[in-house]
A and B are shown apart, each in its own frame.
Chain A
Amino acid sequence: KAGVTQTPRYLIKTRGQQVTLSCSPISGHRSVSWYQQTPGQGLQFLFEYFSETQRNKGNFPGRFSGRQFSNSRSEMNVSTLELGDSALYLCASSLTAGVGELFFGEGSRLTVL
């Protein structure tokens, strides 16, 4: 069974640009969550989607947005990139909307210059 797939794995952007990251969850999983991982802050929750609806949103500015498609694949977008957005962005899928095991992808490492 394929795991969570994130693309691209690495990318470099400059300040002011925007970026779109993609996540394909495990087959059959309908919940997709996004986390930002930085050395100082650990993993911080961005948002969660279930059946194409955003269920929860973390404490991030409006520059961070996401969506989920009918096949459960998800994308997140960061507009007007800042240096502080450099991080590993992790996607996690879960079978249900209730609390359960999160299956993480290997992440997309974003560097903003």
Chain B
Amino acid sequence: GENVEQHPSTLSVQEGDSAVIKCTYSDSASNYFPWYKQELGKGPQLIIDIRSNVGEKKDQRIAVTLNKTAKHFSLHITETQPEDSAVYFCAASRVSGNQFYFGTGTSLTVIP
């Protein structure tokens, strides 16, 4: 089955700096890669996703890059703000179903 690894497990940045979280996957058949943000006491919420036919996608301060050859994808958050503090999860899935394989999460702290 698919194995998704995520690094780092914790990340602290100063407000206004950038944050980068990296994930690798093992199954070359995976072709959908979402990123979820989970705030304390809440369920994960999708913040951005990318499909395997695209190398990069941006949405305001958030961007995701995908390298299919190397089987890794990354989340980039620029101009971080305190409200970006949360746990971020990467995931991988095949198009055939809603079975997602999640990374173990990155706890991001943005220091004001």
Contact = CB atoms under 8 A, between A and B. Distances in A.
Nearest to B103: A42
Given A42-B103, A45-B100, 16 more contacts: A33-B99, A42-B89, A43-B91, A50-B98, A59-B1, A94-B98, A98-B96, A98-B97, A98-B98, A99-B32, A99-B94, A99-B95, A99-B98, A103-B46, A106-B41, A106-B42
Nearest to A33: B98
Contacts of B103: 42
B43 A42 contact: no
A94 B95 CA distance: 13
A101 B97 CA distance: 11
B99 A42 contact: no
Interface in A56-113: 56, 58-59, 90, 92, 94, 97-107
A41 B104 contact: yes
Interface string B25-68: 00000001010100001111110010000000000000000000
Contact of A102 (B41, B95, B100, B104): B100
A101 B93 CA distance: 11
A26 interface: no
A55 interface: yes
Interface residues of A, number: 30
Given A42-B103, A101-B34, A90 B43 contact: yes
Contacts of B95: 98-99
A24 interface: no
Given A41-B104, A99-B94, A102-B46, A56 B41 contact: no
A100 to B, nearest CB: 7
B67 to A, nearest CB: 20
Contact of B45 (A42, A45, A58, A104): A104
Interface in B75-111: 89, 91, 93-105
Nearest to B43: A104
